Amino acid sequence: MSADLTPRPAGPLDGPTPATAEATLPPDEMPPTASPSGARRRPGASFFVGLGLVGLVVLMALVSFVWTPHDPTFVDASARLRPIGDPDYPLGTDKLGRDVLSQILVGARTTLFVGLVAVGVAGLVGVPLGIVAAMAPRRAGEPLMRGIDLLLAFPALLLAIMFSAVYGGSTLVAMVAIGIASVPSFVRLVRSGSLQVLSTEYVLAARAAGRGPWAIGVHHVLPNVSGLVIVQASVSFAIAVLAEAALSFLGFGTPPPTPSWGRMLQESQELLFAAPRLAIVPGIAIALAVLGFNLLGDGLRDHYDPRMEDRR
């Protein structure tokens, strides 16, 4: 699967797909909505659809803290395999008699946790490294980048499997691995963004004003690459959610009894014919969450217009 874990290299690939800029139109002739950089575009439909889907996941997670219809881990032999629409169990129960709706609600927490850990690791490591790699002199920056490139040689799934084997299978371990595997894309993206920022005259002006490298990194570079980072974070989030599902399928994902959509999907397999709903419900949940984060990323990309080189 794979697909889900294929690293998405940063750089031109993740390039923006602005909806309004037109190749042939000279920038100074463009109407103001589409023009000045730094100006944020009005977000498009994909942003709102994505926001809605992500909001739904967050809402489910929040609701699960205060209320679930049943204890999601409570095993009830008398209530096994109830169908969808059962008065007590709106989304039915699984083979252990656990309420599917409750598991989906609590599973949303796992999904968010998964994404936050992976994106958190990747971001916390990748963003500073990217800025440092851009600001450091060539002699230091180049080896750093080569080291980061080396990480690319360890695909996410491989890293997750090895980490799980070494540190025991847990969501945290698997997602730290996924996060580490995503570090290179963050570093590359942030570095190229930072290099653009550093080549601007406002950085030169800040230096002339007496700002040290630290202050420039924090006050100029970081805010100006944040748009890129948010977009990348959103995409990485989606990748992490897919990765968790794939790892759960292989038995390296979230261990029981913590409810997780990926494991629900994996557990549902043997009952695919008897109770396809058990696969369909978490399957849809995963797909919608991934879709949500991807769309949000696309929307934000348009919104932030990260083509800094467009600035004239």
Residues 283-302 that bind another protein (CB under 8 A): 283, 286-288, 290-291, 294-295, 298
Judged by beta carbon, residue 67 or residue 273, the one nearer another protein is 273
Residue labelled with tokens 């599973």? 107
> Per-residue x/- marks for another protein, 95-124, CB under 8 A?
xxx---------------------------
139 is an interface residue for another protein by CB under 8 A = no
* Shortest reach from residue 90's CB to another protein, in Å: 21
Per CB under 8 A, contacts with another protein among 233-252 are 238, 242, 245-246, 249-251
Subset of residues 186 to 215 that bind another protein, contact rule: CB under 8 A: 200-202, 204-212, 215
CB 288 within 8 A of CB 56: yes
C-alpha span between 119 and 125 (Å, rounded): 10
The string of DSSP letters for 183-244 reads HHHHHHHHHHHHHHHHTSHHHHHHHHHT--HHHHIIIIIHHHHHHHHHHHHHHHHHHHHHHH
56, 80, 125, 141: which one binds another protein (CB under 8 A): 80
74, 105, 75, 112: which is closest to 90 by C-alpha?
A: 105
Q: How far is the CB of 16 from another protein (least distance, A)?
A: 8
- Distance of closest approach, residue 155 Cβ to another protein, in angstroms: 4
Q: Rounded to whole angstroms, how far apart are CA atoms 161 and 177?
A: 8
> In whole angstroms, how close is the CB of 71 to another protein at the nearest point?
9
Q: Residue 112 or 157: which CB sits closer to another protein?
A: 157
Q: What DSSP string runs through 35-47?
A: --TTSPPPP-HHH
Closer to another protein by Cβ: residue 66 or 77: 77
Q: Is residue 55 near another protein by the rule CB under 8 A? A: no
Binding pattern for the stretch 31-50 against another protein, x by CB under 8 A and - elsewhere = xxx-xxxxx-----------
> Does residue number 9 form part of the binding site for another protein (CB under 8 A)?
yes
**Of 108 and 238, which CB lies nearer to another protein in the complex structure?**
238
Q: How far apart are CA 133 and CA 232, in angstroms?
A: 18
* Among 78, 87, 137, 139, interactor with another protein by CB under 8 A: 78
Residues 6+ apart with CB under 8 A from 176: 117, 118, 121, 163
Instruction: Give the SS3 label for residue 24.
Output: coil
Among 191, 220, 277, 303, binds another protein (CB under 8 A): 220
Pair of tokens at residue 34? 């589409």
Task: Work out how close the CB of 287 gets to another protein at its nearest, in angstroms, rounded to a whole number.
Answer: 4
Q: How far apart are CA 95 and CA 111, in angstroms?
A: 22
Residue of 178, 218, 271, 296 interacting with another protein (CB under 8 A): 271
- The site that binds another protein (CB under 8 A) totals a number of residues, namely 109
Q: Which residues pair with 93 in a beta bridge?
A: 99
Degrees to nearest 5, angle at CA 142 with 138 and 145: 140
Opening angle at CA 293, ends 292 and 299, nearest 5: 90
Contacts to another protein from residues 148-187, by CB under 8 A: 149-150, 152-158, 161-162, 164-166, 168-169
